[in-house]
């Protein structure tokens, strides 16, 4: 059954704001004793888990037939494999940018994507600290707090600002990444690391910076943001220009500079990995 995405979107926006209000309130009284480690540098707290529970409850009411893929796994419903997804799934990151949240550094966001099969059809990213809600649905356009957004029109890589993420858990590909960062540092306006992949995608969709790339991403980091970029007139691919960017762990998202940016990334990425 196909749903009316234009009708669904405002309900998801309202829910993301509710989760955002909870995160903002908890930040005011947050104590780092509440931080747990899921693995090396992989932080989590009750704020992530309770935000996820709130989102799941609301999304079940909005679209009862949809399944869930969530970072904290609170539903116990995450599929074992993402190969054969059928029907609708909500893909949720209840706090994207937990390290930023813990250190009280913007941005951090709530990210909600809806997929049909393996294809994202609706995305909402609520950046908590600036109270900015970015949302888009397939063929419906992209918006921030009610205003339409577009990717930046810059066509020359040399005139662009590039956003990325640095690894903090798995460092085996650091050598290739540093080569790419070196290239962009020398040949663009600069490189930024903001700390929330969902916000990074939303900012590219809104024309703040021209492109974003990162590897080792999870579906919940990107499922909310990819529709924003596409509906704002941008392009997304994996590092080799293919379309496995939601479940394939690597992504390049950009406006008109996408082909130039993707070519540089693929050139370095396809070299034999070296340690820095």
Instruction: Single out the segment in contact with ligand IPD by CB under 6 A; choices: 6-14, 54-62, 194-202, 246-254.
Output: 194-202
Could you check whether the bond before residue 107 is cis, i.e. omega within 30 degrees of 0?
yes
Contact by Cβ (8 Å): 95, 23: yes
* Count of residues interacting with ligand IPD (CB under 6 A): 13
* Cα torsion angle, 238, 168, 175, 157, sign: positive
Residue number with CB closer to ligand IPD (158 or 170): 170
Can you say which residues are annotated as belonging to the binding site for Mg(2+)?
71, 93, 96, 221
Is there binding between residue 210 and Ca ion (CB under 5 A)?
A: no
**Closest distance to ligand IPD from the beta carbon of 229 (Å):** 15
Following DSSP, what letter does each residue of 61-118 receive, concatenated? HH-TT-EEEESS-TTS---S-STT--SEEEEEEEEE-HHHHHTT-S--EEEEEEEETT
Question: Contacting ligand IPD (CB under 6 A), which of 107, 113, 165, 209?
Answer: 165
Residue with tokens 């949809």: 66
In the numeric block, which tokens belong to residue 19?
Answer: 């989760």
Can you say which residues are annotated as belonging to the binding site?
71, 93, 96, 221
- At 33 the three-state DSSP class reads helix
* Count of residues interacting with Ca ion (CB under 5 A): 5
Residue number with CB closer to ligand IPD (58 or 165): 165
Is there binding between residue 20 and ligand IPD (CB under 6 A)?
A: no
Interface with ligand IPD (CB under 6 A): 93, 96-99, 165, 195-197, 214, 216-217, 221
The residues that touch Ca ion, with contacts defined as CB under 5 A, are: 71, 93, 95-96, 221
């Amino acid at each position: 059954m196909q749903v009316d995405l234009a009708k669904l979107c405002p309900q998801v926006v309202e829910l993301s704001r509710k989760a955002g209000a909870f995160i903002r309130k908890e930040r005011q009284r947050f104590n780092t004793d509440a931080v747990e480690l899921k693995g090396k540098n992989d932080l989590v707290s009750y704020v992530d888990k309770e935000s996820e529970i709130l989102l799941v409850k609301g999304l079940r009411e909005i679209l009862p037939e949809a399944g869930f893929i969530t970072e904290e796994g609170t539903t116990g419903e995450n599929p074992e494999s993402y190969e054969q997804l059928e029907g609708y799934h909500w893909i949720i990151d209840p706090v994207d940018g937990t390290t930023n949240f813990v250190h009280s550094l913007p941005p951090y966001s709530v990210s909600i994507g809806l997929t049909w099969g393996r294809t994202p059809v609706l995305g909402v990213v609520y950046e908590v600290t600036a109270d900015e809600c970015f949302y888009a649905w397939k063929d419906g356009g992209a918006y921030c707090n009610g205003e339409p957004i577009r990717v930046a029109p810059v066509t020359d890589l040399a005139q662009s600002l590039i956003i990325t993420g640095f690894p903090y858990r798995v460092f085996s590909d650091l050598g290739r990444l540093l080569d790419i960062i070196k290239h962009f540092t020398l040949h663009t306006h600069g490189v930024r690391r903001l700390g929330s992949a969902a916000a990074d995608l939303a900012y590219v969709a809104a024309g703040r910076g021209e492109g974003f790339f990162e590897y080792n991403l999870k579906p919940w980091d990107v499922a909310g943001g990819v529709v924003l970029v596409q509906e704002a007139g941008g392009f997304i691919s994996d590092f080799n220009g293919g379309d496995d960017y939601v479940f394939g762990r690597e992504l390049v998202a950009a406006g008109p500079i996408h082909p130039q940016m993707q070519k540089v990334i693929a050139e370095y990425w396809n070299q034999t990995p070296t340690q820095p």
